Amino acid sequence: MTALDDAPTTTSDPETTRVNEAIDALLAAHDPTTIDNIEFRGHRYDAGLAWVHFAEGDGGLGVRPELNRLVDKRLRAAGAKPTDPSTFFMELAGPTIATHGSPEVKARFLRPMFTGEEKWCQLFSEPGAGSDFAGLGTRAERDGDEWIVNGQKVWNTLAHLADFGMLVTRTDPEAPKHKGMTYFALDMRAEGVEVRPLRQITGEAEFNEVYMTDVRVPDAHRVGDVGEGWRASLTTLMNERNAIGGGGGGAPRRGAAANDAVEVWQAMDASKQTAADKDTLMKWWVQAEVGRLTNMRAAQNAKSGNPGPEMSIAKLAYSELNKGLYEFCMNLLGADALIDYDYTFRRPEDLDVSGTAHGLRYAFLRVRANSIEGGTSEIMRNIVGEQVLGLPGEPRVDKSVPWNEVPRN
């Protein structure tokens, strides 16, 4: 999802020089083509080249986040393997732990998360608390140095592969809903954790539901202060929208995903090509390119590692672009769109947020989820209106009411 071709390589500012020198030292000591990928990523973390905008000692160098693209470009050119798609959630959990975790929590989780030794998933939504995330009801009750957790989470991507989950719980039901939440790192192999598949229209069970019954979570795995789970969650959600919307720098090709439609167009019989479809194709290509360049600019202007509410615009635009674009591709394919896809039930081993890794027919189905995951398009419009444009918010009568007094279905 990063625009490697646009990464700065020939600038003399001190931060870029420092990053280039760190890369030179890393490659001189460790050849990525001759050692295990996990071992190389560990050395990369120790060199401060995991997330360069993180603090020193936490896998970073304390420099501007756009330089991550420089690191990716140079290491890929040197033969380093691309990031495993199944570790997608490190881009959500990493910034959250780096921002809100104690030194002990950061030391415990960041390095194995980056190397891929420990994979993560996200445990946020619940059957009764999806768009109203702050209304969640999964309970965590203190028991000495541990917390006992009971509840259910749903739509948990790749939870069947995860070693740890980003878990948000209700620790004070007598506080207003935004105030009584606490964030934990949940061991997905702990006794009492059950993961069940949810089959999607693609045939995959990429999503899951997770049940927790008397699960014991050490207080040492708490991320942030007790009762501050909402603040930590916002960091996760902003980075999720940033990742889904391509805010890390845009797509690597001009035209982004619209190039898929271009390829379909070029493969069509010329007699079936119409002027109207050509005009539509160009509109999609321009829209995709505008999104790519806008995301690049947003990444370059970022002053810290955590994006702001503006990235809700990118996430919203990306979701709507993908749905319309792949519907257009299906229209161009005509009856051929109905064949050559396997709907057999399967549990995937990696994540394809863009939907493009398994072909156009898969993409058409998978990108339906883009307007739901990371916050629905309706929620994104609310955020853009209230936090970006400064419009008055919708009346919320339950915001200051204790959670256990709020009516529920």
Element (H, E) at 195: strand 193-198
**Among 167, 312, 330, 150, residue whose Cα is nearest residue 244:** 312
DSSP class of 396: -
User: Would you say 169 and 152 are in contact if contact means Cβ atoms under 8 Å apart?
Assistant: no
Q: How much is the pLDDT for 151?
A: 97
Q: What b/e sequence results for 42-81 when a residue is b if at least 16 CB atoms lie within 10 Å of its CB, and e otherwise?
A: bbbbebbbbbbbbeeebbbbebbbbbbbbbbbbbeeeebe
User: Would you say 386 and 393 are in contact if contact means Cβ atoms under 8 Å apart?
Assistant: yes
Element (H, E) at 148: strand 146-154
Structure tokens at 240: 């999720």
Of the candidates 66, 91, 240, 310, the residue annotated as catalytic is 240
Q: How far apart are CA 397 and CA 405, in angstroms?
A: 12
Q: How far apart are CA 222 and CA 183, in angstroms?
A: 6
Q: How much is the pLDDT for 224?
A: 97
Mean pLDDT of the region 21-32: 98
Q: How much is the pLDDT for 291?
A: 82
User: Would you say 149 and 140 are in contact if contact means Cβ atoms under 8 Å apart?
Assistant: yes
Please tell me the least confidently modeled range out of 225-234, 251-260, 288-297.
251-260
pLDDT-derived band at 241, boundaries 50, 70, 90: confident
**Residue ranges of the alpha helices (H) in 303-355?**
311-333
Mean pLDDT of the region 10-14: 73
pLDDT-derived band at 2, boundaries 50, 70, 90: very low
Q: How much is the pLDDT for 4?
A: 43
CATH number of 4-115: 1.10.540
Amino acid symbol at 179: K
CB-based contacts of 387: which residues, under 8 Å, 6+ apart?
A: 309, 312
Please tell me the least confidently modeled range out of 69-73, 254-258, 360-364.
254-258
**Among 62, 28, 61, residue whose Cα is nearest residue 46:** 61
All structural domains of the chain with their residue ranges: 4-115, 120-227, 233-388
State the pTM of this model. Answer: 0.86
In Å, how far from its chain's centre is CA 248? 11
Residue position matching structure tokens 């045939």: 203
**Among 115, 120, 99, 102, residue whose Cα is nearest residue 47:** 115
Please tell me the least confidently modeled range out of 155-159, 227-231, 247-251.
247-251
pLDDT-derived band at 249, boundaries 50, 70, 90: very low
Residues in the chain: 409
Would you tell me which CATH number, out of the four given (2.60.40.420, 3.30.1330.10, 1.20.140.10, 1.10.3720.10), belongs to the domain 233-388? 1.20.140.10
Q: What is the pLDDT of residues 117-150, one digit of tens each?
A: 999 999 999 998 877 888 999 999 999 999 999 9
Q: What is the pLDDT of residues 307-341, one digit of tens each?
A: 667 678 888 888 899 999 999 999 999 999 999 88
Q: How much is the pLDDT for 19?
A: 98
Q: How far apart are CA 26 and CA 79, in angstroms?
A: 13
Q: How far apart are CA 407 and CA 375, in angstroms?
A: 23
Q: How much is the pLDDT for 358?
A: 79
In Å, how far from its chain's centre is CA 28? 32
Pairing relationship of beta strands 120-123 and 164-170 according to DSSP bridges: parallel
Q: How far apart are CA 163 and CA 198, in angstroms?
A: 19
Q: How much is the pLDDT for 228?
A: 96
Q: How much is the pLDDT for 252?
A: 45
Q: What b/e sequence results for 285-304 when a residue is b if at least 16 CB atoms lie within 10 Å of its CB, and e otherwise?
A: bebbbebbebbbebbeebee
Q: How many CB atoms lie within 10 A of CB 343?
A: 13
Element (H, E) at 193: strand 193-198
Q: How much is the pLDDT for 247?
A: 44
Q: How far apart are CA 121 and CA 156, in angstroms?
A: 7
| 240 tagged catalytic | yes
Q: How much is the pLDDT for 383?
A: 84
Q: How much is the pLDDT for 3?
A: 40
Please tell me the least confidently modeled range out of 56-65, 153-162, 171-180, 376-385.
376-385
Mean pLDDT of the region 94-121: 97
Mean pLDDT of the region 1-8: 44
Q: How far apart are CA 11 and CA 200, in angstroms?
A: 47
CB-based contacts of 163: which residues, under 8 Å, 6+ apart?
A: 118, 119, 120, 187, 188, 189
Q: Is 50 exceeded by the pLDDT of residue 18?
A: yes
* Average pLDDT across the chain, whole number: 88
Q: Is 90 exceeded by the pLDDT of residue 293?
A: no
User: Would you say 203 and 346 are in contact if contact means Cβ atoms under 8 Å apart?
Assistant: yes
Q: Is 60 exceeded by the pLDDT of residue 66?
A: yes
| 388 vs 308, residue with greater confidence | 388
Mean pLDDT of the region 173-199: 96
Q: How much is the pLDDT for 196?
A: 97
Q: Which fold has domain 120-227?
A: Butyryl-CoA Dehydrogenase, subunit A; domain 2 (2.40.110)
| 264 vs 306, residue with greater confidence | 264
Residue position matching structure tokens 């002053």: 303
Q: How much is the pLDDT for 355?
A: 59
